[in-house]
Structure 1
Amino acid sequence: MTASIVVSDREETAQRLLASSARKSYDPMVEVDWEAPIPDDKFGLTPEWSTLYGTALWDEMTEEQKIELTKHEAASVSSVGLWFEILLMQMLLRDVYGRDKHSRHVQFALTEVADECRHSVMFARAGERLNMPSYGPHPAIHKLGRIWGGFFRGANAYASVMAAEEILDMMQRDFMKDERVQPVTRTVSKIHVLEEARHIRFAREEVGRRIEGASWARLQFERLNTAVVVYFVMKSMIRKDVYANAGLDPERAAAEAKNNQHYKDTVRTSGSKLMQFLDGVGLVGGPSKRLYKRVHLL
């Protein structure tokens, strides 16, 4: 391994995270003003995060078209976040099923499930409030998720979850600060970022704990499984339907998005912290590198 992380006692970490949850948690049904009007002049997400930003097509689009596209992209991102939150809740409940329910570790895992349940409703409500389609991942990936979710085990479960959450986090940290963005997107992003900080800490320590001393064969499996999850999450983030639904030529838009160097650079820069962590615990190497490069994280 090229680096290491400090792994504190499992119960000590869980106790601190439970205390943090007690001090600061959010109810999206209260914190988000779901009745507020949707401004016509606000983007759905930070425009620099649009898959078409920096392309010739983006330069040709009117301001109204750019706003409409980013609303659809925001709804697509939220729907994938919702899909993965559901997989995460399944994994956590399976993981703690046979553990001591008096332990703080299990109690924080259950607290996280409660958080993720609220987040799922929040993501669904955000897409609905923007009056967007219910996107979600491609149907084939959705079906694979149902099967694959049953095989979440050990380090790969926590690494996969942490990676997916950090991908969403890296986008939402920009969304929540950007006054050009719809208020509903900003508030949803802020709630998710603040609460996910605890979840990511929990997952990171579990990854370090469970990967320690792994055999060569197991390490190869953990690497590949984590990379496959990241690959499909990144590929699912923006459905191609968004372009047609935003009134654009879908073929041209998809082609320009695929070759958009600005978007690739944004993903690579924003994902550097995640990749440093995965590399530090030994989860980057071999075939996994090719998958990370295909989604521009390396």
Structure 2
Amino acid sequence: MTASLARETTRGFVPGIPLSDREETAGRLLASSARKSYDPMIEVDWEAPIPDDKFGLTPEWSTLYGTALWDELSDEQRIALTKHEAASVSGVGLWFEILLMQMLLRDVYDRNKHSRHVQFALTEVADECRHSVMFARAGERLGMPGYGPPRYIHLLGKLWGRFFRGANAYAAVMAAEEILDMMQRDFMRDERVQPLTRTVSKIHVLEEARHIRFAREEVARRLTGASRARLAFERFNTALVVFFVVKSMIHPAVYANAGLDGDRAAAEAKRNSHYHDRVRKSGTKLMTFLDNVGLVGGPSKIFYKKVHLL
């Protein structure tokens, strides 16, 4: 084994974050990918009818669930709203998958391509490429607009994708994937939800489990021995990305597009304590990890509180 692929110790990393050798981890993840990966073009029945009586996502994950406006809506209006919300979640997921692929390719550009670490990173890029097509196809099949983040966040994403790398990029990507994961685990198990949404969510959750493990270990490795100044920068960058991703998850246009009073719906969603509590409880695992690796503290807490993760 060359010096560039020398084994890393399994001790001395961040407390509470067990780490194995980087090459061993990548080797296990490559083996898992070989055993169980999915081709959405085959696994998803794209020609199946879209039931009129199924929600686009788990109703309790709707930004209006628990509000006075939700109580006033008919079942048809609730279904229409959740279809638009599901399309918005997928659109933001697609946007971030593309940023993730850019980050991974930049990160491995100068690394030894014979390493298992690089080979799993390339495998992940292939996974994310399929996921992006899957998200796009799902929105199209549901007959929804092509949602994504607001334009200013889209433009900021271009800047982030160009300049950020290393621990800050892995932490931000891992956090964004965890946010999608915590929602989609509910979608895939809920029989009230569209079969298309359930299948897409299941594929994404199962394959992202490998990606999240890969990113978590990279974050912990690369933050080992970080200076106070670097940790402060990493905290700020990660929190800022999480803030923008969560804020972008539901596009403001979904309400009017679903036939609702857009201004009233946006106002009720903004103060919906039920939705805020659901985000906070579902994000406990993510926030515990970020805290354990030193990425929660100082001004970063302001961003997490604004999107109800703290």
* Equivalent in 261, 267, 271 of residue 255 of structure 1: 267
Listed as ranges, the gaps of 5+ residues in structure 1 are: none
Tell me the distance in 2 between the aligned counterparts of 1:148 and 1:214.
Answer: 21
Question: Paired residue for 2:206?
Answer: 194
1:118 corresponds to 2:130? yes
The amino acid across from 1:235 in the alignment is K
What is the one-letter code of the residue matched to 1:108? F
Code of the aligned partner of 2:143: N
2:57 pairs with one of 45, 49, 53: 45
Which residue in the other structure is 2:217 paired with?
Answer: 205
Hey, what's the Cα distance between the residues in 2 that align with 1:34 and 1:152?
Answer: 36
Give 2:70's match in structure 1, choosing from 51, 58, 63: 58
Query: Which letter does structure 1 place at the counterpart of 2:238?
Result: T
Query: Between the two proteins, what is the percent identity of the paired residues?
Result: 82
Q: What is the SS of the residue equivalent to 2:149?
A: coil
2:309 is the alignment partner of 1:293: no
Q: 8 Å contact 1:2–1:279 — kept in the other structure?
A: no
Contact 1:3 1:279 in 2 (8 A): no
The question of 1:278 aligning with 2:290 is answered: yes
Q: What RMSD over aligned residues (CA atoms) do the two structures have, in Å?
A: 0.9
- SS of 1:176's equivalent in the other structure is helix
Aligned pairs for 1:121-140 within 5 A:
121-140=133-152
Q: Deviations over 1:28-50 (max 9, x none)?
A: 00000000000000000000000
TM-score, normalised relative to structure 1? 0.99
1:2 Cα shift?
8.7
1:183 is aligned to 2:183: no
- Alpha-carbon distance in structure 1 between the residues aligned to 2:223 and 2:169: 11
User: Given residue 66 of structure 1, which amino acid in structure 2 is its aligned partner?
Assistant: R
- Is residue 2:115 matched to residue 1:103? yes
Superposition deviation, residue 153 in structure 1: 1.4
Deviation at 1:4, TM superposition (A): 2.9
Distance 1:90 1:2, change over 3 A: closer
Segments of structure 2 that go 5 or more residues without pairing to the other structure are 1-12
Distance between the aligned counterparts of 1:147 and 1:286, measured in 2? 24
Q: CA deviation at 1:152?
A: 2.0
Q: Provide Cα deviations, 1:199-237, integer angstroms capped at 9, x if missing partner.
A: 000000000000010000000000000000000000000
Q: What whole-Å deviation, never above 9, does each CA across 1:241-264 have from its counterpart, x for those lacking one?
A: 000000000000000000000000
In the alignment of these two chains, the number of paired residues is 298
CA distance in 2, matches of 1:281, 1:257: 32
The structure 2 residue matched to 1:68, chosen from 51, 57, 80, is: 80
